[in-house]
Structure 1
Amino acid sequence: MAANYWSSTQKQNWLFEPYEIVDLREEIEKQHAKAIEQYPLPDRRLVFIFIKDRIIQLSKRLSFRQQCVATALVYLHRYFLFNAMQNVNIYLLTATAFYLASKTEESPHHIRLVASESRQQWPEYVPSDPARLGEMEFCLISEMHSQLIVWHPYRSLTALKENSKLALTNEELSLAWSIINDTFMTDLPLTCPPYLIAVTAMFLAVIFVPGKSALDLKQPPQDLQSLMDAGRFASLGGRSGVLTTIGQALDNSAVPAGSDGIARQNIQLPVGSSVKAKTLTAAASSEKMQNIVQFLVESDVDVTQMIDATQEIISLYEVWEQYNEKAVKEAVARCIRGQQLEA
């Protein structure tokens, strides 16, 4: 296990340029063109939303730390880099990823318990024999070359909390945490270092807060330790008013740096094409925003990559509005049955 992210297997082997991921997926499509054409699945992000909900469904009666869900989703992202979704029983793979992640994150469950719970939740897709789950675990570990340690943005968000100049509130931290959770439905865990995801989520959360009344926030703000230990996976996706709030906050306008001698920075944060932007003036004029921009300048964050990450998150929320659980469930079922992958 690496003592820090920079010497970790994640940094060395599991961080890709977007074009590399495109190339890998095109290769998979060529190799499995017939199955992919015969059993089409919805947008990858919609499938991952469905998988995330299945993991939470599975874990309702199993104690777990929230980070287990994030780690399981990263494992699945890695697996699907080299395997077509149409060639695997997604329910069995999801249960296996959660089982393996629970061990990695030091909140393990016995394989028989996970197999039994999976069977109870999805009896038509998960076999009763725990050995099948063990076989899938071996395949999953093999695809990841036994590189199981995952560095998450949560640790970086905790560090940002300790920065007194940023003065982040529990409400902002809670929003940033939810945004980080949502990034696991995108390719960001494969293309961005965790610290950059955390900084982007923090920046968006600070912008969100002035328009928080537009969001359907059903949970009160929590401190980070409570969020880490919570048995839920908070999300902004699917809530009413998210895209409207983004459109009101992000304006394709510059967020100016402070007037303390630091060079002015134009941080362009584009919104999705379907979102009508309004203004960022109120946020830009606040002392907190000035401090955040100063932090970005002094920390030498890759602003271009931050912009790309922001667009990826916004695009996710646009796609999320199209999410229909029944449609995804039926598409997955057709694939599993057609490929004879069921239990």
Structure 2
Amino acid sequence: MAANYWTSTQRKYWTFTPEKLTEVRDELEGQNAKVIEQHPYPDPRLMFIFLRDRLLQLAKRLQFRQQCVATALVYLHRYFLSTPMQNVNLYLLTATAFYLASKTEESPHHIRLVAAEARQAWPEFVPGDVSRLGEMEFCLISEMRSQLIVWHPYRSLIALKENQELKLSNDELGLAWSIINDSYMTDLPLTSPPHLIAIIAMFLAVVFLPTAKAAGTLRPISHDTLANPDSGPFSSLVGRQALLGSFSTVMGNLQMPNHPASQINQATNGKTRAPIDEPNSQPVDKEKTVAAIKESEKLQNIIKFLVESGIELEQMIEGTQEMISLYDIWEQYSEKSVKDAISRCLKSRGLDS
């Protein structure tokens, strides 16, 4: 195991530029064009929301630790770089990723227990034969070339909390924690180092916090989670519609003329499509929100940190936009439609037995 991320297999073999990632996926789609055309799946981000929920379903039954769920999601991302979703039983694969991640993160469950729980949760699609899960585990390990260690952004976020100049509150930390959890439904685990994902989550949390408080959607982070990142729940950012409205307002109006970080405004303002007029959204006081952020010493400290830290601002902008795009498309998510699409493909291709 590498002593740090920079010498890890994750950085050497499983971190791609967006262009390279697109190239790999285009090649895979070209090789499997017929089956993908015959059995189209929704947007990959919506698919990962569905798979995340299946992992949490097992995690709840087996008392899984948070980081195991994150590791399992990274395994799925890696596996789908060489195998189309339509070519595998996603329920069996999810259970296998869950089982393998439990061993990697040193909180193992017996294979029979995981197989039995998966069978009980999804009797239509998970075979009763335990050996099938073992075979899938071998396939998963092989596709990842036995490179199983995953570095996550959680400890980087805790390090940011300990930075006295940033002055992050527990509320902001809790919100950033949820944003990191949500990042596993995007390509960020394949394109960005863990510390950059943590910085993106911190930045979004500071911007989102005023509206999150007003909407009552904050989930405070416990002292136990701070001491042991694995102990916390794998929570998601909630109240996304109201938060997106706030973010769109702030980034569209906030002026930072003398900072390179002002590029963030330009990048997000031109691309973000926030559903601020949804009937269920809570109204956002735009003027008060913008004024509060402009006067925020904390945001100015973060801007200073970004400029002085030497991080790639362009990569941060792209990552920030990717998170915003996730929350935008999340409003279209329908578990039933995803489940039906998977069911049709599995039964049509004989992958459900």
Normalising to structure 1: TM-score of the pair? 0.93
CA distance in 1 between counterparts of 2:238 and 2:60 reads 20
**Pairing 1:208–2:218 present:** no
Pair 1:201–1:311, CA change in 2 (3 A): same
**1:214, 1:245 within 8 Å by CA — same for their partners in 2?**
no
- Of all paired residues, the percent bearing the same amino acid is 60
Change (3 A) 1:98 1:301: same
One-letter code of the match for 2:63?
Answer: S
Give the whole-Å Cα distance in 2 for the aligned partners of 1:226 and 1:56. Answer: 22
Larger mean Cα displacement after TM superposition, 108-117 or 286-295: 286-295
8 Å CA contact 1:166, 1:292 repeated in 2: yes
1:312 to 304, 322, 341: 322
Q: 1:252 to 1:182 in 2, by over 3 A?
A: farther
Contact residue 28 and residue 82 of structure 2 kept, 8 A? yes
The residue that corresponds to 2:279 in the other structure is: none
Partner of 2:77: 77
Aligned to 2:109: 109
Is the 2:50–2:335 contact (alpha carbons within 8 Å) kept by the matching residues of 1?
A: yes
Post-superposition CA distance 1:178-200 (Å, at most 9, x none): 00001100001000111001001
Give CA deviations for 1:163-187 in whole Å, capped at 9, x if unaligned.
0111111100000000000110000
The equivalent of 1:266 in structure 2 is 262
> For residues 149 and 252 of structure 1, do their structure 2 counterparts lie closer, same or farther at Cα, with a shift above 3 Å needed?
farther
Residue by residue, what CA displacement relative to the aligned partner does 1:111-169 show, whole Å, maximum 9, x if unpaired?
Answer: 00000000000011111111110100000000110000000111110110110111111
**Is contact 1:181–1:233 with CA below 8 Å preserved after alignment?**
yes
Q: Distance in 1 between matches of 2:11 and 2:291?
A: 37
Give the structure 1 partner of residue 313 of structure 2: 303
2:237 equivalent in structure 1: 236
Higher mean Cα deviation, 282-291 or 105-114? 282-291
Judge which range, 232-241 or 98-107, deviates more. 232-241
* 1:79-228 map, 5 Å: 79-217=79-217, 219-223=219-223, 224-225=225-226, 228=229
AA partner of residue 292 (structure 1): I
RMSD over aligned Cα, in angstroms?
2.0
- 2:212–2:239: 8 Å Cα contact kept in structure 1? no
SS of the residue aligned with 1:241?
A: helix
Conserved in 2, the CA contact under 8 Å of 1:182 and 1:237?
A: no
Q: Is the 8 A contact 2:72 2:100 kept in 1?
A: yes
Q: Which residue of 2 aligns with 1:10?
A: 10
CA deviations on 1:211-268 (whole Å, 9 max, x unpaired) are 22354516334344278344631111564423222223322644366xxxxx765242
Task: Please tell me whether the aligned partners of residues 68 and 102 of structure 2 are also in contact (alpha carbons under 8 angstroms).
Answer: yes
* Aligned equivalents of 2:337, 2:320: Cα separation in 1: 28
Q: Choose between structure 1 and 2: higher helix proportion.
A: 2
Kept in 2, the 8 Å contact 1:252–1:268? The answer is no
Select the residue among 334, 344, 353 that pairs with 1:324: 334
Deviates more, 1:187-196 or 1:234-243: 234-243
Q: Letter of the aligned partner of 2:176 in structure 1?
A: A
Using the alignment, how far apart are the partners of 1:227 and 1:4 within structure 2?
19
Contact between 1:183 and 1:313, CA under 8 Å: does it hold in 2? yes
Show structure 1 runs of 5+ residues with no match: 258-262
5 Å-filtered alignment, 1:15-30, equals 15-30=15-30
Structure-2 change in CA distance of 1:39 and 1:265 (3 Å): closer
Letter in 1 for 2:247: I
CA distance in 1, matches of 2:229, 2:251: 29
CA contact (8 A) 2:18 2:191 kept: yes
What are structure 2's unaligned runs of at least 5 residues? 277-283
TM-score (norm 2): 0.90
Q: Could you tell me how far apart the structure 1 residues matched to 2:313 and 2:69 are?
A: 28
1:45-84 equivalences in 2 (<5 Å)? 45-84=45-84
Measure, in 2, the Cα distance between the counterparts of 1:165 and 1:147.
37
